[in-house]
């Protein structure tokens, strides 16, 4: 997780196997819950580099929170709740641990 400007956070997820456009694998995600953050302000998919990016604004401080995402197969389900598929839970901590990095500015 990276702070790209004041009070804005970006999170990019990379899936294995790769995201595909045929609907057989992960194509879209739905934000199910965010603790300490508001609804995502943007969500984009990149089939070229196999990533899906989300951005939040108005995060309270730079403490820990959990972002839970769920794979869905319909592009219309890009909202809180709904959808089917595997659930991926990420704990983003301060100070950072592992490969996820949180930078406070």
One DSSP character per residue, 27-62 reads -EEEEEEESSS-S-SEEEEETTTTEEEEEEE---TT
**What are the sequence ranges of the domains in the chain?**
2-92
Which among 32-36, 54-58, 101-105 has the top mean pLDDT? 54-58
Higher pLDDT, 103 or 44: 44
The listed range with the strongest mean pLDDT (40-49, 59-68, 88-97) is: 40-49
Pairing of strands 8-14, 2-5: antiparallel
């Amino acid at each position: 997780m990276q702070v790209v400007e004041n009070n804005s956070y970006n999170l990019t997820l990379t899936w294995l196997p790769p995201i595909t456009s045929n609907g057989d694998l992960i194509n879209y995600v739905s934000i199910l819950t965010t603790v300490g953050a508001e609804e995502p302000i943007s969500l984009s998919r990149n089939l070229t580099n196999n990533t899906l990016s989300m951005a939040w604004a108005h995060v309270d401080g730079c403490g820990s929170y959990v972002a839970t995402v769920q794979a869905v197969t319909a592009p219309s389900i890009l909202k809180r709740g709904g959808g089917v598929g595997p659930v991926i839970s990420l704990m983003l901590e301060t100070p950072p641990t592992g490969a996820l990095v949180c930078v406070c500015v």
